Structure 1
Amino acid sequence: MTPRDASDANDRTNGSRWSDLDRPPLNATGLRRALVREGGLWSSLDVVPETGSTNTDLVDRAAGLPEGAVLVAEAQRSARGRLDRVWTAPARSGLFFSVLLRPTEVPVDRWGWLPLLTGVAVATGLSRAAGVDTALKWPNDLLVRVGGEERKAGGILAERAGTDGVVIGIGLNVTLRENELPVPTAGSLALAGAANTDRDPLLRAVLRSLEHWYGTWRAAGGDPAVSGLQETYAAGCATLGRTVRAELPGDRSLVGEAVAVDGDGRLVLATDEGVRQPVGAGDIVHLRPA
């Protein structure tokens, strides 16, 4: 038994702060048995009770790890989202994990598709495993509907790791209750009426979906059209067809209708002046329903 498995076993039997019968610990041994296999993408899978940030940990350790390392935390103290936003959630209420990818056969200028690819993989994996409808907000938020309202249930953060690696972090609220929401616009799979909130099969489904999409994209040389990624992302993107405000670097903003996601993964806005402006970085605010 490894130290991480022993920790899980002790938590089951001792009255620790991790004890929540509605939120059992992940089965690290079972997850490794299901996902880590010869010829597959996932080379290792570790589950830790708590850490600051799985992304920070994996970036720091990336130099000594092969592609496909997966680090999962039952709780994070310093989880980060895009634009240095803080991500908070009770222990074992969601899936908080990072993966190390090394897409060396893909041109670097196409690596910007990785967060969007991950969004597609998470959404398609959850549609099968959780039985809940999800949508993607450009570039990397996962949305669910709670009481008819659109709410954020997950987010994705990609960070470079050395010269040939990318660490992608995924945070997903699974059993978060209404009184535990950090902000009113947050949601969870449970609040959205998911048919399954067992985190083990959900994590397996998401990682298998990510392996599939990453393999397809990589085999196509990172081409988003040939791999089907661009079309699939657009089909599931809740941002397209809406009037949005893009909060841009340098305290600038741009309002327009989101009309496309281009070949570089940028959101294309059509402004009132008749200009089509691609946006590659910034925060997007949905101003009206599609």
Structure 2
Amino acid sequence: MTPQPPENQDKDHSGAGAGGRWSDLERPPLNRTALRRALLRPGSLWTDVDVVPATGSTNTDLAARAAAGGLAEGAVLVAEEQSAARGRLDRRWSAPPRSGLFFSFYLTPRVPVERWGWLPLLAGVATASAVARTAGVDTALKWPNDLLVTVGDEERKAGGILAERAGDGVVIGIGLNISLRADELPVPGAGSLALAGAGVTDRDPVLRAVLRSVEDWYGQWSAADGDAAACRLQDAYAAGCATLGRTVRAELPGDRELRGEAVAIDGDGRLVLATEEGMQRPVGAGDIVHLRPAPEA
């Protein structure tokens, strides 16, 4: 979907009636003008912020613009609702309008391309720290790209990250459930910040905090030429990773699987498993299933 001109966009978000500004007082629309004022400042990573009422996928939209050429680094696209949102392994998910944050941004890293694999992990660290700081909810990372919260005594997925090559750079999409109620969850194992007891469910400050956190971590990572150890990104991810210390099953491409204890995140962002045979095996791609609860702190 092509982003609307600002004058039409503002009208869509502030008008009365279905889809209008006051159609759901518990879930007001994002304030595009305020977001742009807060984020588009001289020297900032962010160069443009668009907010659209609905689209299929913000990742798909930005990737198409990048492929067509002329998309500047730091472009951000936010949708109040997505109808064809995608996760890893082309999984689909949906949520009620304005119940979460659904957004993508475009980066053109000037670091060795073999280090670009750290970008979704960087986005995870940035998002988890921003949510903890702004909403007061501890958010853990499930390797490689899930965001976990605790609802009651149960660990649940509240968000995810998807990175895709596009044009000369990478589009990174983030989906985060904010105000979903129990009867709105897409699957029983899902969660939201509200269900986890968030002190803040206003999406504007959460989105600003996440983007500022991404900007900060991306600046440090870029200054270190993409060296995740030198900028302490590797340590930060490991510290917040709920997968480490657990027995897991890695479902690998080609219908293969590997079981072992997750013991480390290596310099390439891969999950290292210690197998029963005494081998340490790095996993660079695959679906991870937690088989054993996290160790007691």
- Cα displacement string for residues 101-123 of structure 1 (whole angstroms, at most 9, x for unaligned residues): 000x2000000000000000000
Does 1:242 find its partner at 2:246? yes
C-alpha distance in 1 between matches for 2:20 and 2:182: 21
The answer for the alignment partner of 2:3 in structure 1 is none
C-alpha distance in 2 between matches for 1:100 and 1:17: 29
* Paired AA for residue 221 in structure 1: D
The answer for the alignment partner of 1:207 in structure 2 is 211
The answer for the alignment partner of 1:94 in structure 2 is 100
The answer for the alignment partner of 1:149 in structure 2 is 154
Q: Does the 8 Å contact 2:81/2:97 carry over to 1?
A: yes
TM-score (norm 2): 0.95
C-alpha distance in 1 between matches for 2:128 and 2:180: 18
| Offset, 1:4 | 1.1
The answer for the alignment partner of 1:64 in structure 2 is 70
Q: SS of the counterpart of 2:28?
A: coil
* Paired AA for residue 95 in structure 1: L
The answer for the alignment partner of 1:137 in structure 2 is 142
Does 1:121 find its partner at 2:132? no
TM-score (norm 1): 0.97
Q: SS of the counterpart of 1:160?
A: strand
| Offset, 1:246 | 0.1
Q: SS of the counterpart of 2:92?
A: coil
| Offset, 1:9 | 1.3
Does 1:226 find its partner at 2:222? no
C-alpha distance in 1 between matches for 2:113 and 2:228: 13
| Offset, 1:259 | 0.2
- Cα displacement string for residues 27-83 of structure 1 (whole angstroms, at most 9, x for unaligned residues): 000000000111100000000000000000000001221100000000000000000
List structure 1 runs of 4+ shifted beyond 4 angstroms: none
- Cα displacement string for residues 243-277 of structure 1 (whole angstroms, at most 9, x for unaligned residues): 00000000000000000000000000000000000
| Offset, 1:15 | 3.7
Q: SS of the counterpart of 1:50?
A: coil
User: Number of residues paired by the alignment?
Assistant: 286
Q: Does the 8 Å contact 2:126/2:210 carry over to 1?
A: yes
| Offset, 1:2 | 2.2
The answer for the alignment partner of 1:55 in structure 2 is 59
Instruction: Map 1:246-285 onto structure 2 (within 5 A).
Output: 246-285=250-289
C-alpha distance in 1 between matches for 2:133 and 2:155: 20
Q: SS of the counterpart of 1:64?
A: coil
| Offset, 1:16 | 3.6
C-alpha distance in 2 between matches for 1:250 and 1:66: 37
The answer for the alignment partner of 1:83 in structure 2 is 89
C-alpha distance in 1 between matches for 2:108 and 2:177: 27
Does 1:192 find its partner at 2:196? yes
* Paired AA for residue 39 in structure 2: L
| Offset, 1:91 | 0.5
- 2:34 corresponds, among 30, 40, 52, to 30
Does 1:14 find its partner at 2:17? yes
* Paired AA for residue 106 in structure 1: V
C-alpha distance in 2 between matches for 1:248 and 1:75: 32
Does 1:287 find its partner at 2:291? yes
Q: Does the 8 Å contact 2:14/2:20 carry over to 1?
A: no
Q: Does the 8 Å contact 2:13/2:20 carry over to 1?
A: no
Q: SS of the counterpart of 1:122?
A: helix
* Paired AA for residue 110 in structure 1: R
Structure 1 residues without counterparts, runs of 5 or longer: none
C-alpha distance in 1 between matches for 2:107 and 2:19: 35
C-alpha distance in 2 between matches for 1:166 and 1:223: 18
| Offset, 1:236 | 0.2
